[in-house]
Chains A and B, each alone.
Chain A
Amino acid sequence: MKNRRPRRRSALIRPLAIVLALFVLGLTYAALQPATQSMADGSKDQIAAGKALFTQNCSSCHGLNGEGTSQAPSLIGVGSAAVDFQVGTGRMPMANQGQQAPRKAGTYTSDETAQLAAYVASLGTGTSTPDSGQYNPAGLTDEEIARGGELFRSNCSACHNFEGAGGALPEGVSAPSLQGVEAIHIWEAMRTGPGQMPVFGQNTITDEDARAIIGYLTSVEAEPSGGLSLGGIGPVSEGFWGFIIGIGGLSLFAVWIAAKGARAK
């Protein structure tokens, strides 16, 4: 238990802790990749290491030079952000061929991910992995975070649900849950549009807006609730649990009330 008063401070503690962690993470990234813009170039060594990894693990689907095959799309010009997202969230390499790659524990270390990203970035210009200043929600005011909520509900909640729990799309595809996704990956998904997701470009959702959206998501996850959230998927689960706990539980009481009970003989 912890005291959250004053409200303003308390609500910021958790996001701040996360932000701090993200900041450290960002620093690690920054240390690995000196500058985002130049990252497209990457160091010679990095690209070489990335190419080796790529040839070994990715080329069977994406082609020897990332030109794509009938099984997987071309990676020329997708940029390092797409690679960081796909590999960093464990979506790539895919466990098995399917319509949609799920998030899972990553196969590669962050070093290896960066090498792969550098290699793919060298194939053609695309969106680069961001600076922490582009996605890190630290330092946002309450009003900015609230505006992030408005942006989230206008642009994202239709697919990803009001608290980011995810939702259904046609033909077996689904919009994944955003809970517990790292800030950088949310930014990268918006910019690169993985899978069926459309792109949300820098000129319509600026980095300021993206940070606000990420800030909102981080804060809303930390927001205390009025009891168990029952999956956070709205009235369907509420109705379900209402029947199970409410009607079910009260029926058990009713059985007890009407039961004759043990007799002495």
Chain B
Amino acid sequence: MFRPRLIPVLLLRNNALVKSVKFKNYNYIGDPINAVKIFNELKADELVLLDIDATAEGRRISSEVIKRVGEEANMPFSVGGGISSIEDIKDVIACGAEKVILNSYAITNPLFIQEAVQHFGSSTIVLCIDVKKKFLGKSNYVFIRNGKEATKYKPVELARIAEEMGAGEIIIQSISNDGAMSGYDIELIKSISDAVTIPTVALGGAGHLTDFKNAYQHGNVNGIAAGSFFVYQGDNKGVLINYPSWQDVTKII
């Protein structure tokens, strides 16, 4: 039977694993390779690896790190951070990644999505859409550059463009819910999932098993991703890598 994927998202800063709240207040978690080893043991469905400073620093995610992850991972993983050319994608795939996550560059140049799809096929190309409201604004907009720069796009509008350009999957990330561990923005997630026929992944806000179940039942997503949930334990947010099985999620009422 087909089932949704539970996807830990690993954020890299200076090649160390960190976790944010609302794209700020970065907390050091540990060594990314060690985390991948633990997720192997826990049989995670898939991993996402994002270098959050790559675009700002005008480079892309380190091939060395991807290669080390590729050597360890017994599951598919996708990689993002400063991807802005066909050569970048070629390198990332050669290092063992299954999929490539596009963001700032592709959102500024949507034709790049199409070019990437022509080279590598739809199923390799993922677009991550980071969403929040503008200062004092009421409606959601797509932000780029790690949440620092607003674009003209409404989330659904960009999702439709991504689908038209041939993207194989969309990650929908709520910036305001990031690290809050108080639930996904189901309304946002559903609005995008319902607007496209390609798989979507929810990200931003998961704190409890019920949040996963809500995203699946009410958000119409194929993948359920989280950061904090998989690296923190308890109310004091002690660092402890953990991963529930899909049965654990379906067991709860």
Report if A and B associate in a common complex.
no
